[in-house]
Amino acid sequence: MQSTRLAKLLEFLESDPNDPFVLYALATEYNNANDPKMAFGYYLKLVDEHPDYVGTYYHLGKLYEKTDQKEAALEIYQKGMTVARNKRDMHAFSELQGAYNTAAGLDYEDD
């Protein structure tokens, strides 16, 4: 059974199938529902069709990590950092860089 929120998002998608916010919301909803296949589908559609939608990269990278695809996560974080830098969104850039560093094992602390 679909959640009310998911059903509503699917209605919005039917009204405007190219709305990046709706695609992002659907990806996030499926991710939260532990449906990585559907989440990947919407996140990858965003990357392909709306590459400047910065929020996609962090969550897609985390989903790659969650599904043991570390190299894909690192690649998507790097791509996201480039997009964020080009948009001068330094907050997103910083979050993506932190995620990249953690995934790459670069966030060590001095003992």
Q: Is residue 108 part of a domain?
A: no
Q: Is residue 109 part of a domain?
A: no
Q: Is residue 111 part of a domain?
A: no
> Sign (positive/negative) of CA torsion 51, 85, 75, 72?
negative
| Domain count across the chain | 1
CATH of the domain at 63: 1.25.40.10
Q: Is residue 58 part of a domain?
A: yes
Tell me the pLDDT tens digit for each residue of 32-90: 999 999 999 999 999 999 999 999 999 999 999 999 999 999 999 999 999 999 999 99
Domain that holds residue 76: 4-103
111 vs 69: CA distance, rounded Å: 29
Predicted TM-score (pTM) of the model is 0.89
34 vs 53: CA distance, rounded Å: 23
pLDDT band at 3 (very low <50, low <70, confident <90, very high): confident
- Residue 107: predicted pLDDT: 72
